[in-house]
Amino acid sequence: MNERSDSNVIFSGCGFDGNQPYLDFDHEMDGRFHRRRFHLSDGAFTLRFLEERYCPGSFSLDRLMGSPCTSVTPLVNSSHNHCYACFETTGFNPAFYHMPMHKISPQQRNYNQERHAVYLAWFGPSVVKVGISSVRRLSTRWKEQGARWAVQIAECFNAYEARELEEKISQAFDLPEVIQVATKKKLLRNTIDFREGRTQLEELTTSVLESFPNLNRGKVQTMDQAYFMSALANHHLIDQAESGKISGVPVALIGDILISDNNGQLFMLSLKKWIGHSVLLTHVRESIDFHPQQTALF
């Protein structure tokens, strides 16, 4: 794909304003990017992602807010997801525990000193992960990952203490720390009894607390109200990962998986890999060609 958008627009991320899912787009104007936010409740739209990539901006660990890149920097090195300036401004590495302490940025050292929670999150039958997050970001973190049920099981003084506990629980209960997007997409195609999620998570929490007696049992919470998914009634989802195009009325954003209704057919697209890409964005529904036999593969 070598198409270019006339007015340069990039997709810079998605997330949740409380329980309002949104997509952010950076528009180039006067030599810099300006961010516009689009909520799922705003109605029909079409996104067609292009190969061209630009820096999607920086994130402040202090204010927990993103900002667009000020220099409209194209990304040509496939291993870079940000320009150097935005990378330095953000200063975040999720795998900080694999780094020597002096290589962790001052921003992240401050952030790591905040109180951190250890949690369990349920994505589908027997698909549970253990994770950590700053207490301030906990609920957002659960939504960003697309957890369906989640429970906090400990509050630690800092990220290092939380990470140590996370690793111990992961090993003791053979729990992953990451759920792959392919697994998440597969789960969305299944009809699942979500009440079962609560029971499974409560039982697992009891077992973990028996092995780690100093932890605290939090309340098991459902995340579904955040995903705008009341209209998601069937699970015949057509994955648009190949074409990078999705169009229609958005009916859900579950973590980074966007689901749109196009003339009664549901399409899904995992958006994370498209962050930073140029995009053709219109606020109308376009028809999508698809082969019905695609659904028969699953």
Residues binding Zn ion (CB under 5 A): 55, 69, 73, 83, 86
Residue closer to Zn ion (CB basis): 23 or 86: 86
Ramachandran category for residue 144: left, alpha or beta (phi over 0 → left; psi -120 to 50 → alpha): alpha
* Contact present, 253 and 223 (Cβ < 8 Å): no
Crossing angle for the helix pair 159-173 and 194-211, nearest 10 degrees?
100
Lookup result for tokens 């780690």? 212
Cβ proximity to Zn ion, 10 vs 288, nearer residue: 10
Q: Residue 35: helix, strand or coil by DSSP?
A: strand
- 275 Cβ contact partners less than 8 Å away, ≥ 6 residues apart: 11, 12, 13, 56, 81
Q: At its nearest, how many Å lie between Zn ion and the CB of residue 83? A: 3
73 vs 262 by CB, closer to Zn ion = 73
For residue 230, report the phi and psi dihedrals to the nearest 5 degrees: -60, -30
Q: How many CA atoms lie within 13 A of 189 on its CB side?
A: 18
Least distance in angstroms from the C-beta of 280 to Zn ion:
22
* Nearer CB in complex with Zn ion: 24/224: 24
Structural tokens at position 284: 């109308």
Q: Are 156 and 116 in contact (CB under 8 A)?
A: yes
CB of 57 to Zn ion, least distance (A): 6
H or E element in which residue 196 lies: helix 194-211
Q: Tell me the one-letter amino acid at 192.
A: I
d(CA 176, CA 158): 21
In the complex, the smallest distance separating the C-beta of residue 33 from Zn ion, rounded to whole angstroms, is 9
Least separation in angstroms between residue 82's CB and Zn ion is 6
Q: How far is the CB of 274 from Zn ion (least distance, A)?
A: 17
**Residue placing its CB nearer to Zn ion in the complex, 82 or 129:** 82
Q: Which is nearer to Zn ion, 67 or 221 (CB)?
A: 67
